[in-house]
Copies of this chain bind each other. A is one copy, B any other.
Amino acid sequence: MTMTDFDILGIGNAIVDVLAPADDAFLDREDLVKGSMTLIDADRADALYGRMAAGVEASGGSAANTLAGLASLGARAAFVGRVRDDDLGKVFAHDIRAVGVAFDTPAATEGPGTARCLVMVTPDAQRTMATYLGACVGLGPDDVDPEKVAAAEITYLEGYLWDPENGKAAFRKAITCAHEAGRRVALSLSDAFCVHRWRGEFLDLLSNGAVDILFANESEIAALFETGDFDTALQAARALGITAALTRSEKGSVAIAGDEVHVIDAVTPEKIVDSTGAGDLFAAGFLFGLTRDLGLARAARLGSLCAAEVLAHYGPRPQVTLADFVAGRY
């Protein structure tokens, strides 16, 4: 196998988050399910934003957050995603490059604006998201460069990419390119509703060797295997024969591969402020651990540490250099 240019290449939706506090009654009135991600159109986005509280804007996108975390840990990271050439697109490109991620997908010069995710943060620190995909729907297989995929040790895909038709085609192409080059593919299931939408196709990908490393939280793995019992889902995941990290919020995580099963405690910050990005940053730490051959248990501990950093503040990406934050702690 040839040398790699990147530890991880991520492909996902390029989104700017708008985070604002909200209460449960607001979520009810807006018909939003707490903790989930709902896709909305431009009109609904305008109307919902109009009713939201004053907020802050921060670059987001699930895979993009993970890649930002990886770069902050010191990994060689690249991202593919589509913005428009508007204010928010410039913010997205600035933020991901500023943390050291290679990002050169050209911004669209026409069509819908840069995607935004309206994130309502309830007093229990849960985040509920409504996403207008905007320019993201323009991402397609032409944006996936086979040479770049071949140059990355692991290609990381977010399940959300399965929603737009073009994204799905880009996703499939990336898997083919990676495996032809002898590289690995990682997948995040993204969201329980996303799993409901694409359950059969995700199960196919996981059973037929398309995915080597799986990330899922408790509700996503429950949706995938249609069970409310975590251990039942765990045994089903083990039967897939792949590497998987199953995250359980304050209950920690379970990392599996072959015969290995590690049950790792969560790292809880003094105060949990906002869960946005916690799963994405767990993935960053875990993937970093895999590329550094730290073993499953240390990789999962590193994931928990990275998640703890973003749990302690508003917004989905680290506010400190993760390499310093985690030093000597895993």
- Which residues of chain A have a CB within 8 Å of any CB of chain B? 18, 20-21, 49-50, 52-59, 68, 86-88, 91, 94-96, 98-99, 113-114, 313-315, 317, 319-320
11 additional A-B pairs beyond A54-B94, A54-B317, beta carbons within 8 Å, are A20-B98, A21-B319, A21-B320, A52-B98, A53-B98, A54-B68, A55-B94, A55-B95, A56-B57, A87-B87, A313-B314
Partner of A54 from the list B52, B59, B313, B314 (CB cut-off 8 Å) is B59
Residue of B nearest to A72 (CB): B54
Taking the closest CB of chain B, its distance from the CB of A94, in whole angstroms, is 6
Partner of A56 from the list B20, B87, B315 (CB cut-off 8 Å) is B315
Taking the closest CB of chain B, its distance from the CB of A61, in whole angstroms, is 13
How far, in whole Å, are A288 and B114 apart by their CA atoms in the complex?
A: 39
Taking the closest CB of chain B, its distance from the CB of A325, in whole angstroms, is 13
Copies in the complex: 2
How far, in whole Å, are A21 and B313 apart by their CA atoms in the complex?
A: 14
Q: Given the complex, which residues of B lie within 8 Å of A315, measured CB to CB?
A: 56
Are A94's CB and B313's CB within 8 A? no
Taking the closest CB of chain B, its distance from the CB of A101, in whole angstroms, is 9
Partner of A57 from the list B21, B49, B57, B86 (CB cut-off 8 Å) is B57
Q: What are 11 A-B pairs with beta-carbon distances under 8 A?
A: A21-B320, A52-B94, A52-B98, A54-B68, A54-B99, A55-B58, A55-B95, A56-B315, A57-B57, A57-B58, A87-B88
Are A91's CB and B314's CB within 8 A? no
How far, in whole Å, are A45 and B18 apart by their CA atoms in the complex?
A: 23
How far, in whole Å, are A73 and B289 apart by their CA atoms in the complex?
A: 48
Residue of B nearest to A21 (CB): B319
Q: Given the complex, which residues of B lie within 8 Å of A59, measured CB to CB?
A: 54
Taking the closest CB of chain B, its distance from the CB of A57, in whole angstroms, is 4
How far, in whole Å, are A89 and B313 apart by their CA atoms in the complex?
A: 26
Partner of A53 from the list B57, B87, B99 (CB cut-off 8 Å) is B99
Q: Which 3 A-B pairs have the closest CB atoms?
A: A87-B87, A57-B57, A54-B95
Taking the closest CB of chain B, its distance from the CB of A237, in whole angstroms, is 34
Are B54's CB and A56's CB within 8 A? no
How far, in whole Å, are A319 and B123 apart by their CA atoms in the complex?
A: 12
How far, in whole Å, are A98 and B53 apart by their CA atoms in the complex?
A: 5
Taking the closest CB of chain B, its distance from the CB of A320, in whole angstroms, is 8
Taking the closest CB of chain B, its distance from the CB of A179, in whole angstroms, is 32
Q: Given the complex, which residues of B lie within 8 Å of A320, measured CB to CB?
A: 21
Interface centre among A20, A55, A56, A88 (most CB of B within 10 A): A56
Q: Given the complex, which residues of B lie within 8 Å of A55, measured CB to CB?
A: 58, 94-95, 98
How far, in whole Å, are A53 and B319 apart by their CA atoms in the complex?
A: 10
Taking the closest CB of chain B, its distance from the CB of A100, in whole angstroms, is 9
Interface centre among A57, A86, A313 (most CB of B within 10 A): A57
Are B56's CB and A56's CB within 8 A? yes
Taking the closest CB of chain B, its distance from the CB of A85, in whole angstroms, is 11
Q: A57-B56, A313-B314, A319-B314 are in contact. Are A87 and B113 (CB under 8 A)?
A: yes
Taking the closest CB of chain B, its distance from the CB of A83, in whole angstroms, is 12
